[in-house]
Amino acid sequence: MKKLFLILVTCFFMTTAFAGLEEIFGNADVGDSCQSDYQCASLCCNNKKQCSEHGSNGQKCNKVPGESCVTTEFCKPYYVETCKLVKTGTMPNGKVGCILRCPAVETPSSCVNSVCVAPSVPPVPPFDPADPDCSNAVDP
């Protein structure tokens, strides 16, 4: 009888403990309400407090800076102007010529301490078109 009582008490506490974990670590489907990324099967609770898709059919979570995240892949990438000196060929005086190019490059945001952080914008290298220093120029 004592063993049966112990088994019943153990089962009650285990059931109670696991019921509480469902609220924290759930398998909520897309569209279900949530308070945390960990409540969603997709690990993506959007700013409307609904589970969103992530990873299916190329769909990404795309959380903006300041929103919670599980890892970097859940944060929205941004196009960042990334300037470089690019070689243009040899000039008549024999020196290598170059030009400043600043394409927008898709750059991932970071997930720092479970919060999405926008990518930083790299500094523009110094460039004087009248007298270019092309020593650090890259091939096109």
- Single residue among 61, 78, 105 that ends a domain in this structure: 61
Q: What is the pLDDT along the chain (140 residues), one digit of tens a residue?
A: 444 434 443 444 344 344 444 455 678 999 999 999 999 998 999 888 999 888 766 668 889 999 999 999 999 999 999 999 999 998 888 889 999 999 999 999 999 999 999 999 999 999 998 888 999 999 99
Report the number of distinct structural domains present in the chain. 2
Within this chain, do residues 48 and 78 fall inside the same structural domain, yes or no? no
- Single residue among 41, 61, 81 that ends a domain in this structure: 61
Domain that holds residue 51: 1-61
Within this chain, do residues 48 and 70 fall inside the same structural domain, yes or no? no
Within this chain, do residues 138 and 70 fall inside the same structural domain, yes or no? yes
Confidence (pTM): 0.68
Q: What is the pLDDT of residues 10-51, one digit of tens each?
A: 444 344 344 444 455 678 999 999 999 999 998 999 888 999
Phi-psi region of 135 (alpha: psi -120 to 50; beta: other; left: phi over 0): alpha
Within this chain, do residues 74 and 138 fall inside the same structural domain, yes or no? yes
Q: How far apart are CA 134 and CA 117, in angstroms?
A: 33
Within this chain, do residues 42 and 73 fall inside the same structural domain, yes or no? no
